[in-house]
Amino acid sequence: MRVKLGIDPTAPDIHLGFAVVLRKLRDFQELGHTAVLVVGDFTARIGDPSGRSKTRPPLTEEDVKQNMKSYEKQIFKILDKKNTEIRHNSKWLAKLTPSEIVKLTSRITMAKMMERDDFAKRFKDEQPIALHEFLYPVFQAYDSVAVEADIELGGTDQHWNHLLGRDMQRSFDQEPQVVMLMPILEGLDGVRKMSKSYGNYVGVTESPKEQFGKLMSIPDDLILRYFKLCLDYDEDSLATIKKKLKAGENPRDIKMDLAEKVVSLYHDKKTAEKAKKEFIKIFSKNKEPEDIEELKITRGEEIWIVELLEQAGFVKSRGEARRLIQNGALKIDGKKVTDFTLNISFDKDTVLRVGKLRFIKIKPK
């Protein structure tokens, strides 16, 4: 069978939430079926409105190209490359003429479009729905026709989209695909789904230290769910963990086991053990990690603290740097700094710490 999975290159990282469905796709591969990975390089320029209360901004063609560069490397940490077809939907969608697009949309009624929960809610709340947003699910449904999908995998938030694919296939006299939906993994905030857009994710190619630290920050009530969805624990294994929690075992220790196993999955066991030791050293013993990146600056020359955080790569904007400093997230040689107007100079090696896990050593030259 041909098992389709669509992926939009909306950010350069694939996260653990998306890995849930990738791992299921790998299960199909192990049973001898073909994984058909549809990269939405065309539809990403429209923007998927699924689950959104307002119009999602589309990506530029350059955004898509940049984000796609590292995707294959990440995907093949999970999938079997030899049994995977990678198809870019721009190959068929970009070729459609205006006349063909009109014919394509004629296969779907407006009544069908308004069955979708988010569209119906936005219409009821008198929030704008741009016409191009209706095209996204139509094009996604046509992807199933183009690749002749027998099965389509996705998260439960894609339920309506994937069923529309069945309708589209019927209209082209194809056998309608079977839709298999996987649970949505909550992000690090414990509230919204794990998403690159929300910034609450753990990337599969992030450093072992970052992965470990992020996983230690999940709410305690998500421990069992992460063991189930990130590590495929069965019900008996989950029951054992549940008993430990009920008996009063420290959730922190169980999260350490979770984090170590996930890091082992995407890196290796030795690296995971090192990340665990580093975490214990930083948090339990309040010490600095062994390997700290270095930033060389001119000795004795003053620099604005906000600009320093920007140069160190800790922030994406100066506004973000100000917020971190005002919230007390910055320490210089162990002393908290909350004044974002500070100008500072260095004449010796100095360690900057932002939050719990990010360190950099300033080396004057």
70-80 tens-digit pLDDT: 787 889 989 99
Asked whether the beta carbons of 241 and 253 are under 8 A apart, the reply is no
Task: Give me the amino acid identity at 111.
Answer: A
* 46: confidence class by pLDDT, cuts 50, 70, 90: low
d(CA 304, CA 269): 41
pLDDT band per the 50, 70, 90 thresholds, residue 234: very high
Residue 289 has pLDDT above 70, yes or no: no
240, exposed or middle or buried, with CB in 10 Å at 0-12, 13-18, 19+? exposed
- 3-class DSSP assignment, residue 63: helix
> What are 336-362's pLDDT values in tens digits?
889 989 999 998 888 888 877 678 888
Query: Per DSSP, which regions of 170-311 are E strands?
Result: 178-182, 294-297, 303-304
Question: pLDDT value at position 59?
Answer: 67
DSSP codes joined into one string, 142-165: HHHHHHT-SEEEEEGGGHHHHHHH
SS3 113: helix
* Token pair listed for 156: 């439960």
Q: In sequence order, what are the beta bridge partners of 335? A: 332
pLDDT band with cut points at 50, 70 and 90 for residue 47: low
Indicate whether 223 pLDDT > 80: yes
320 in helix, strand or coil?
helix
> Is 188 within 8 Å of 202 (Cβ atoms)?
yes
The H or E element spanning position 36 is strand 34-39
How does pLDDT run across 242-271, given as a tens digit for each residue? 999 999 999 999 999 999 999 999 999 999
Quick one: average pLDDT of 95-105?
Answer: 95
The pLDDT score that the predictor gives to residue 58 is 63
Asked whether the predicted pLDDT for residue 222 surpasses 80, the reply is yes
Question: What is the average per-residue pLDDT within 265-287?
Answer: 85
pLDDT of residue 53: 44
* Mean pLDDT value of segment 231-250: 96
d(CA 58, CA 257): 39
Lowest mean pLDDT among 25-39, 164-178, 195-209, 273-287: 273-287
pLDDT given for residue 55 in this prediction: 47
Name the pairing type of β-strands 2-7 and 151-155.
Answer: parallel
300-309 pLDDT, tens digit each: 889 999 999 8
* Region 196-219 average pLDDT: 88
pTM of the predicted protein model: 0.75
Q: What mean pLDDT is reported for the chain?
A: 88
Q: What is the pLDDT of residues 322-331, one digit of tens each?
A: 888 888 889 8
